[in-house]
């Protein structure tokens, strides 16, 4: 009796949008893959991660999985859909096929892969996982802006806007550079805080860095009332003084 060796769950970090930012390791893995999987929020959606690979012109394997990860904060819906996705992946792994999960940005950074990984391992703790790192959106955004996120003794915090306005307001005091992700639902509230703190001119808006549709907006006040793309962020240099290079006591 032949025993089928279980496949490996692989997270291929693709960077924020430019296929040229896919690492050689991820590129080679995609070319050799048995099965690609990618996240969608609904069945008819075009996957952003899948589009990055399409622009890279890497041939798609015969087997693919479009896994539903709805954009909701309802825990019941989330757990239900994570479980369905994990079962689809595990069934494929148990047939001896490696599953390469496509991730925009980096798989360890605000990624849906973490939910998939935890749920798969809950179903079967023996599953082997391989995470290939990549370029995250704040780094791509800083490069597009041509301004470093921090240097010397400056401090940096990267947060989700979902933590609340009071905490964000405090972090603008505590850190020299603040990067805020998931800004779409609360952008106007953020702009109000920045205006009150006189930080609008020290803030840039970055959307889909590295993609054909990338945007860099330095006059962020013009975004008030605008519905922006969900793959967008703010970089705020709340203290633009000279870095204290090597002078920490």
Q: What residue segments make up the domains of the chain, in order of their start? A: 9-132, 137-237
CA distance 151 to 182: 25
Count the Cβ atoms, other than its own, within 10 Å of residue 9: 25
**Is 70 exceeded by the pLDDT of residue 233?**
yes
Which architecture does CATH list for 9-132?
3-Layer(aba) Sandwich (3.40)
CA distance 192 to 186: 10
pTM, entire model: 0.89
CA distance 52 to 19: 6
Residue corresponding to tokens 């991820």 = 26
What digits encode the pLDDT tens for the residues 47-92? Answer: 999 999 999 999 999 999 999 887 777 888 888 989 999 999 999 9
Q: What is the pLDDT of residue 241?
A: 52
For 137-237, CATH number? 3.30.950.10
**Is 50 exceeded by the pLDDT of residue 151?**
yes
- Let me know: does 185 contact 220? Beta carbons within 8 Å: no
Question: Residue 34 — φ and ψ, nearest 5°?
Answer: -80, -35
Q: What is the pLDDT of residue 223?
A: 97
Count the Cβ atoms, other than its own, within 10 Å of residue 189: 14
Q: Is 208 helix (H, G, I), strand (E, B) or coil?
A: coil
Counted residue by residue, the chain has a size of 249
Q: What is the pLDDT of residue 2?
A: 62
């Amino acid at each position: 009796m032949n025993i089928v060796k279980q496949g490996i769950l692989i997270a291929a970090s693709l960077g924020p949008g430019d296929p040229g930012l896919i690492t050689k390791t991820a590129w080679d893995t995609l070319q050799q893959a048995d099965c690609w999987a990618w996240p969608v929020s609904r069945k008819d959606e075009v996957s952003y991660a899948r589009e990055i690979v399409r622009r890279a012109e890497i041939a798609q394997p015969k087997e693919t999985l479009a896994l539903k990860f709805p954009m909701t904060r309802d825990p019941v819906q989330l757990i239900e859909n994570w479980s369905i996705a994990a079962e689809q992946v595990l069934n494929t792994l148990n047939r001896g096929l490696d599953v390469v999960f496509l991730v925009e940005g980096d798989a360890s950074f605000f990624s849906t892969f973490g939910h998939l990984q935890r749920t798969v391992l809950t179903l079967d703790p023996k599953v082997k996982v391989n995470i290939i790192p990549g370029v995250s959106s704040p780094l791509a955004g800083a490069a597009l802006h041509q301004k470093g996120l921090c240097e010397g003794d400056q401090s940096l915090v990267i947060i989700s806007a979902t933590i609340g306005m009071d905490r964000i307001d405090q972090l603008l005091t505590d850190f020299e550079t603040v990067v805020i992700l998931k800004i779409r639902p609360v952008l106007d509230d953020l702009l109000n805080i920045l205006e009150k703190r006189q930080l609008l001119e020290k803030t840039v808006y970055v959307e889909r860095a590295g993609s054909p549709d990338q945007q860099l907006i330095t006059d962020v006040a013009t975004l008030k009332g605008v519905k922006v793309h969900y793959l967008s962020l703010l970089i705020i240099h709340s203290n633009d003084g000279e870095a204290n290079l090597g002078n920490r006591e």
